[in-house]
């Protein structure tokens, strides 16, 4: 078990990750980070376009977006390695733009770890303390604590070149935390690791975040990573922020088609709004016919809209499901074009008679599930609830 006296004594052990939003956690450390209208160009290329976000004290905040969308650029501006062309970056309400990197209470875990090759693991972690001429005894106990936090106590005397990727990453985390920054920036810290280790390190990072409670800004292009640990996510594309929200909001009600497609798989059908009854919207989708969607703020009839439904929300059967008493279920028929087995689930590409393809993901059955295997060319019945789909405005 980990036990910490000096740095973490104030924070009671947290059994599991509490919701930090709304400040349920008692002892929030770290800083609020506010980014207002930041833009940055390289020559004629615009890497960031009027980016604004407010990151709250103690939040695990992810910047998610495809490669080249400007995540690293934004992180470097927060850390102080680059200056924005315009806009403001402030920590707890105070602008930091005029401070050099060494005077910002922000530390970074670099994408390639950037460990000092000439120093041992111990001295790498001790580096910030040595700069401040901390007495040796203090250095030993502090570095010891942080090496224990990242479970590297037994590797203290190794050189970085002798470590595995996961170990290097942990040294980088310990080194970035030892200064007790109020914000920790992590630039795709797991991208160099294999899938299994990545999962493991992600859980450890999350645990560390819980333990020390400072603000984490986590850059990734892996939506699974972002969804599983973040308090909130900012989805970016081409230098712009498209949506900011909790993982649930981002996944269940994406603001744009791009967000919907980037966060997990989707089926998206374009159509025209036919009629609106309360929150129930009927959309005429070319080929598929009338599709029902519930929408809190329904669009006007006649307007263009896209119906979006996640593949795992669609039920797939080999026999026509019993006629439902509910009126909010959409039914479609089709044939399986291609089943793709992926361990715990299977993804089916189902061709509707109109030629439209639908993606359906079915979790593999346990004993309570019955029914025959669904195979290639099988005739299948698809159904989903109007509640599980949503509408995106024409774009």
Ligand X SMILES: Nc1ncnc2c1ncn2[C@@H]1O[C@H](COP(=O)(O)OP(=O)(O)OP(=O)(O)O)[C@@H](O)[C@H]1O
375, 287, 371, 288: which is closest to 336 by C-alpha? 375
The interface mask with ligand X, positions 96-135, x = CB under 6 A, is ----------------------------------------
Which residues are CB-contacts of 40 (< 8 A; sequence separation ≥ 6)? 46, 47, 48, 70, 73, 77, 82, 84, 85
- Out of 42, 81, 116, 376, the only residue in the binding site for ligand X (CB under 6 A) is 42
What separation in angstroms does the CA of 60 have from each of 200, 219, 288?
Answer: 17, 11, 41
Q: How far apart are CA 383 and CA 123, in angstroms?
A: 60
For residue 221, give every residue at least 6 positions away whose Cβ sits within 8 Å of its Cβ, in sequence order, or none: 64, 65, 66, 67, 71, 188, 191
Give the one entry of other proteins, ligand X, Mg ion, none that residue 221 binds, where binding means its C-beta sits below a cut-off of 5 to 8 angstroms depending on kind. Answer: ligand X
The total of other beta-carbon atoms located within 10 Å of residue 105's CB is 16
Residues 58-87 that bind Mg ion (CB under 5 A): 72
User: 97 touches which of Mg ion, ligand X, other proteins, none (CB within 5 to 8 A by kind)?
Assistant: none
Of 322, 319, 315, residue with least CA distance to 389: 315
The region that residue 77 occupies, defined by phi over 0 for left and psi between -120 and 50 for alpha, beta otherwise, is alpha
67 interacts with ligand X by CB under 6 A: yes
Task: Kindly state the smallest distance separating residue 86's Cβ from ligand X, in Å.
Answer: 16
Q: Which position among 33, 38, 47, 212 is part of the footprint of ligand X (CB under 6 A)?
A: 47
x-or-dash string of contact with Mg ion, 208-247, rule CB under 5 A: ----------------------------------------
Residues 352 and 349: their CA atoms lie apart, in Å, by: 10
79 binds, among Mg ion, ligand X, other proteins, none (CB under 5 to 8 A by kind): other proteins
Q: 57 vs 76, which CB is nearer to other proteins?
A: 76
Return residues touching other proteins (CB under 8 A). Answer: 79-81, 100-102, 106-108, 110-112, 114-118, 127-128, 130-132, 159, 175-176, 179
- 71 sits near ligand X (criterion: CB under 6 A): yes
Radius of gyration of the chain (CA): 25
User: Interface residues with ligand X (CB under 6 A)?
Assistant: 42, 45, 47, 65, 67-73, 221
């Amino acid at each position: 078990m980990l036990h910490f006296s000096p740095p973490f004594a104030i924070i009671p052990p947290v059994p599991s990750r509490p919701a930090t939003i709304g400040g349920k956690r008692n002892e929030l450390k770290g800083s609020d980070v506010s980014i207002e209208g930041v833009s940055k160009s390289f020559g004629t290329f615009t890497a960031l376009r009027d980016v604004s976000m407010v990151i709250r004290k103690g939040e695990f905040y992810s910047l998610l977006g495809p490669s080249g969308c400007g995540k690293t650029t934004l992180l470097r501006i927060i850390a102080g390695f680059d200056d924005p062309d315009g806009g403001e970056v402030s920590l707890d309400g105070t602008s930091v733009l005029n401070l050099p990197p060494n005077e910002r209470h922000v530390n970074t875990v670099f994408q390639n770890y950037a460990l000092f090759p000439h120093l041992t693991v111990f001295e790498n972690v001790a580096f910030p303390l040595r700069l401040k001429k901390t007495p040796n005894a203090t250095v030993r106990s502090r570095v010891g604590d942080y090496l224990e936090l990242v479970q590297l106590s037994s590797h203290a005397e190794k050189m970085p070149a002798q470590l595995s990727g996961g170990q290097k990453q942990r040294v980088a985390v310990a080194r970035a935390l030892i200064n007790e920054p109020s914000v920790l920036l992590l630039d795709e810290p797991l991208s160099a690791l294999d899938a299994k280790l990545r999962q493991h390190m992600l859980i450890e990072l999350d645990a560390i975040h819980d333990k020390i409670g400072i603000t984490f800004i986590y850059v990734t292009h892996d939506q699974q990573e972002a969804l599983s640990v973040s308090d909130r996510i900012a989805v970016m594309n081409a230098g712009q922020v498209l949506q900011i929200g909790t993982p649930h909001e981002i996944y269940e009600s994406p603001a744009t088609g791009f967000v919907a497609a980037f966060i997990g798989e989707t089926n998206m059908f374009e159509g025209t709004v036919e009629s609106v009854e309360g929150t129930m919207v009927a959309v005429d989708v070319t080929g598929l016919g009338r599709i029902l969607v519930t929408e809190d703020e329904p669009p006007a009839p006649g307007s263009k809209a896209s119906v979006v439904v996640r593949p795992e929300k669609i039920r797939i059967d080999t026999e026509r499901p019993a006629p439902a008493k509910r009126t909010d279920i959409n039914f479609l028929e089709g044939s399986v074009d291609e089943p793709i087995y992926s361990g715990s689930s299977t993804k089916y590409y189902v061709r509707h008679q109109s030629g439209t393809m639908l993606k359906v993901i079915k979790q593999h059955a346990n004993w309570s599930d019955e029914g025959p295997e669904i195979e290639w060319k099988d005739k299948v019945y698809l159904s989903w609830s109007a509640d599980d789909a949503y509408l995106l405005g024409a774009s």
